[in-house]
Structure 1
Amino acid sequence: MRVTIFDNFPPIKGVRWFNVWVFILTPLLGLAGFFYAPSSRATAAFSALYYVFSMLGVTAGYHRLWSHRSYNASIPLQLFLLAAGTSAAQGSALFWARSHRSHHRYTDTDKDPYNANRGFWWNHLGWMVFVTDLHSGAADSSDLKKDRLLQLQHSWYFFLLPIWAIIVPTVVPGYFWGDWIGGFCFATMLRMTFAHHSTFALNSVAHYLGTAPFDDRLTPRDHFITAIVTMGEGYHNFHHQFPMDYRNAIQWYQFDPTKWFIAACKVLGFASHLRTFSGNEIAKGQLTMKLKDLKRVQEEITWPTPTEKLPVITWDTFQKESKNCPLILIAGFIHDVSSFIKEHPGGSDILNQSAGKDMTPAFFGGVYNHSNAAHNLLSMLRVGVLENGVETPAEPVKPEHAIPPSQSLYVATRRQGI
């Protein structure tokens, strides 16, 4: 099932008003800065840097480190990522990672906290602001519960939240260059709004728009725009296939600053054991999707009548019918060339003179070495199979002569095991 925009909301039992007011007030207070805050390049630059700080807390910390354990982080790096993640105001790392593990285990089902089949707006905001009978499926979070730093952040989250999400980004512009309003409106509220909706776009946009180069059974998609605003998290189709890979983008030209950050941390000694999935297995996923695409193209093409569905014709019948219709024998197949006589590049006479004859040697280089296109077109003119295949046993038909070039490679669906 593909995603819809508004359909499939579950029955609403209540509203989480705290979340509603957060999602309403943060953009309104952020936009107020355009009317009341002075124009400041320093505040704009700090807001952008603090946004990167917040998003790294979510992407490199909450997501790739604690949700998927895709690398090991030193204590200083963990403290940095916990502070950064807290500044994004998306809950504690323990809460976030536990929900995300349910999302991966139960993707696109009602045990998935942000089930894409419930619709775009349910994914983006609905699951956070409405109370329903839906509950996230169980997922192993025993390692998270044993992590003392995560437990500490979880217990003190609502004390740490205002410090990192509001006080620090407001005080820095206000204290150092006197822009208190800009610090509050832009570095705090507008930055928080962008951090929220960029992350939420992974649950909505990246399950609704984009490509599926690794698997198309579920809704996750690779989406370049989402990758830009989420520090590289938008290559969601890859991520759902290989969640324990510290990379979301595997090509050098793909935008994944989180991958670059983790790799830099390894060089600096703050990260280790960066996990990557086997390139061979990744290539299998890519090949499978390419074959699926080719099979769709293949099914839209008109192909020759299968050999088993062609009538078997005796040599005498072939000779008799050739007097009324230009039939030519090539590679054991009888071809009706009447529709092609006037279009034949070598002229019509050669085809008329070949009626009733075995022209296999001539067609396969004796007179002219025909192109692949000629072989493919010839196969479309087949009307029968000669009994015993050839005029005389001295002229065996080579197997490759019976298969047109366009069918020498063919995508087939395997119905049983090897």
Structure 2
Amino acid sequence: MATSDPQVAVPPTPPTQPHISTQPVTLQNWYKKINWLNTTLVVLIPTYGLYLSLSTPLTRPTLLWSILYYATTAFGITGGYHRLWSHRCYSARLPLRIFLAFVGAGAIQGSIRWWSANHRAHHRWTDTMKDPYSVMRGLLFSHIGWMVLNTDPKVKGRTDISDLDNDAIVVFQHKHYGKILIFTAWIFPALVAGLGWGDWWGGLVYAGIIRACLVQQATFCVNSLAHYLGEQPFDDRRSPRDHVFTALVTMGEGYHNFHHEFPSDYRNAILWYQYDPTKWLIWGMSKIPFFPLTQDLKTFRANEIEKGRLQQQQKAVDKKRAALDWGTPLSQLPVLSWDDFQTQASTNGAALVAIAGVIHDISPFIADHPGGKTLIKSAIGKDATAVFNGGVYEHSNAAHNLLSTMRVGILRGGQEVEVWKSSAERASKDVRGLGIVRAGE
């Protein structure tokens, strides 16, 4: 006789522990909230470098070398990590790609693959919790907090990086990033200073540690200050802003409002006086005879750029316009017949005049009329369109604006009435603000 197998007891699945970033800070877990590798690279080593600088003289050659290597490694980030690999704004030949991969590692900001994946998520999910360094989580978090704290990887938005995984240079750098970092960030600058003018220690401290710290902090300003301070000439629906300070310290990355609107453009600055040496270098290398190092420089259509700028300017005008009295909107005015208009023209202290199909109560202005009371009173209860628009005197734009504040109704039955009403209805549906009143209209 067959017997069934005895039931095997299945141990209960332990409850999933919430990520450390969501747990309250305690004396027992505070150290778990810190990303110690990143904290060592962007806080502890730079702090030690600043301490060493107190006893390490800074020579003129080392200072100049530190500035040059600062600009070189910063370009590795701006021209390489950012505009080449994150956004594919241009194409680069193999020698330049190898150079950018190595000097970019010297900025100590992670591998190309890691940096670009985060940056693409930042653009895809700007100002949301899926943005890895969202300014909505605080200025300090967007600057450095996201680096030194352990954050939940499940929260960060996902993006496609298959192109990076198929790039041999990106794959090689990611695999050997630690060794490349040590050499390009610290050993190489010390070698140049030591073999060049005998300042081994100064080369390590200034051109190595402190230089890398400054490049890091400058880049972090793009994530923080460029989402917090400055103008928004192209779009104000999200946080990116333009300002010159970040552009000066990051080889031109400070025009962040433009960049977020047109991320595939190899330029961050488009006006001649705006500081963007990364753009100049990319452009310049495309002009090298016979063997240009950069190719396929992408730019956004000037027509769309100017449309964005104009729409933002109009938004600003509309905000100012909304604070002014332009009179009761035509769509909200009552419609009166000609007989009703004449009946009410002088009742209850009113002084109604019809101009271009709109009824106005001019009683508050009679005493102040520059042409005198007699002339303006003679128009009460009548259609004064011809008189107002040049028959007696062609009134100024200011007079038209003042008259609009006195309108109280619309005449029924005239062609002008239909034009005014349809125009008002279009204005009420004008969500893009294209119906702004302009001089002479």
Q: What's the TM-score bracket when you normalise by the shorter of the two chains? A: 0.7 to 0.9
In the alignment, is residue 80 of structure 1 matched against residue 103 of structure 2? no
Higher relative contact order (CA 8 A, sep 6+): 1
Secondary structure at 1:131's aligned position in 2? coil
Deviation at 1:222, TM superposition (A): 2.1
In the alignment, is residue 53 of structure 1 matched against residue 77 of structure 2? no
Matches of residues 213-232 of structure 1 in structure 2 within 5 Å?
213-232=233-252
- Taking the aligned partners of 1:380 and 1:198, their CA distance within structure 2 comes to 53
Instruction: State which of 56, 61, 66 in structure 1 corresponds to 2:85.
Output: 66
Deviation at 1:302, TM superposition (A): 2.0
Deviation at 1:81, TM superposition (A): 0.8
Change (3 A) 1:108 1:355: closer
Instruction: State which of 294, 301, 316 in structure 1 corresponds to 2:317.
Output: 294
Deviation at 1:50, TM superposition (A): 0.7
Matches of residues 259-270 of structure 1 in structure 2 within 5 Å?
259-268=279-288, 269-270=292-293
Change (3 A) 1:125 1:414: closer
Deviation at 1:150, TM superposition (A): 1.8
Instruction: State which of 366, 383, 389 in structure 2 corresponds to 1:341.
Output: 366
- Taking the aligned partners of 2:306 and 2:246, their CA distance within structure 1 comes to 24
Deviation at 1:11, TM superposition (A): 4.5
Q: Contact conserved, 1:54 with 1:88, CA < 8 A, in 2?
A: yes
Q: Contact conserved, 1:311 with 1:384, CA < 8 A, in 2?
A: yes
Matches of residues 191-206 of structure 1 in structure 2 within 5 Å?
191-206=211-226
Number of the residue aligned with 1:413:
431
Change (3 A) 1:142 1:350: same
- Taking the aligned partners of 1:88 and 1:317, their CA distance within structure 2 comes to 77
CA offsets per residue over residues 213-236 of structure 1, 9 Å max, x none?
Answer: 222333222232111111111222
Letter in 1 for 2:281: F
TM, length-normalised to structure 2: 0.82
Secondary structure at 1:88's aligned position in 2? coil
Deviation at 1:372, TM superposition (A): 1.0
Number of the residue aligned with 1:236:
256
Q: Contact conserved, 1:26 with 1:190, CA < 8 A, in 2?
A: no
Deviation at 1:173, TM superposition (A): 2.5
- Taking the aligned partners of 1:226 and 1:10, their CA distance within structure 2 comes to 32
Q: Contact conserved, 1:61 with 1:78, CA < 8 A, in 2?
A: yes
Letter in 1 for 2:320: V
Letter in 2 for 1:374: A
Q: Which runs of 5+ in 2 are unaligned?
A: 1-20, 25-31, 434-441
In the alignment, is residue 172 of structure 1 matched against residue 192 of structure 2? yes
Secondary structure at 2:54's aligned position in 1? helix
Q: Contact conserved, 1:242 with 1:277, CA < 8 A, in 2?
A: yes
Matches of residues 133-212 of structure 1 in structure 2 within 5 Å?
133-135=152-154, 136-212=156-232
In the alignment, is residue 366 of structure 1 matched against residue 386 of structure 2? no
Deviation at 1:329, TM superposition (A): 2.9
Q: Which runs of 5+ in 1 are unaligned?
A: 1-8, 390-395
Letter in 2 for 1:322: S
- Taking the aligned partners of 1:36 and 1:360, their CA distance within structure 2 comes to 86
Matches of residues 13-52 of structure 1 in structure 2 within 5 Å?
14-32=33-51, 35-52=54-71
Q: Contact conserved, 2:243 with 2:255, CA < 8 A, in 1?
A: yes
- Taking the aligned partners of 2:383 and 2:236, their CA distance within structure 1 comes to 49
Once the two structures are aligned, what percentage of the paired residues are identical?
46
CA offsets per residue over residues 16-55 of structure 1, 9 Å max, x none?
Answer: 2232233333443443465323342222221111100010
Secondary structure at 2:231's aligned position in 1? coil
CA offsets per residue over residues 270-310 of structure 1, 9 Å max, x none?
Answer: 11111112223323322332333233233222222233423
Deviation at 1:410, TM superposition (A): 9.3
In the alignment, is residue 375 of structure 1 matched against residue 394 of structure 2? no
Secondary structure at 2:192's aligned position in 1? helix
Deviation at 1:413, TM superposition (A): 0.8
The worse-fitting range, judged by mean Cα deviation, of 303-312 and 183-192 is: 303-312
- Taking the aligned partners of 2:23 and 2:246, their CA distance within structure 1 comes to 29
Number of the residue aligned with 1:6:
none
- Taking the aligned partners of 2:426 and 2:384, their CA distance within structure 1 comes to 22
Query: Cα RMSD over matched residues?
Result: 2.9
- Taking the aligned partners of 2:174 and 2:157, their CA distance within structure 1 comes to 21
Q: Contact conserved, 2:113 with 2:170, CA < 8 A, in 1?
A: yes
Letter in 2 for 1:145: D
- Taking the aligned partners of 1:141 and 1:321, their CA distance within structure 2 comes to 73
Number of the residue aligned with 2:336:
312
Secondary structure at 2:363's aligned position in 1? coil
Deviation at 1:258, TM superposition (A): 0.6
Secondary structure at 1:335's aligned position in 2? strand
Secondary structure at 1:340's aligned position in 2? helix
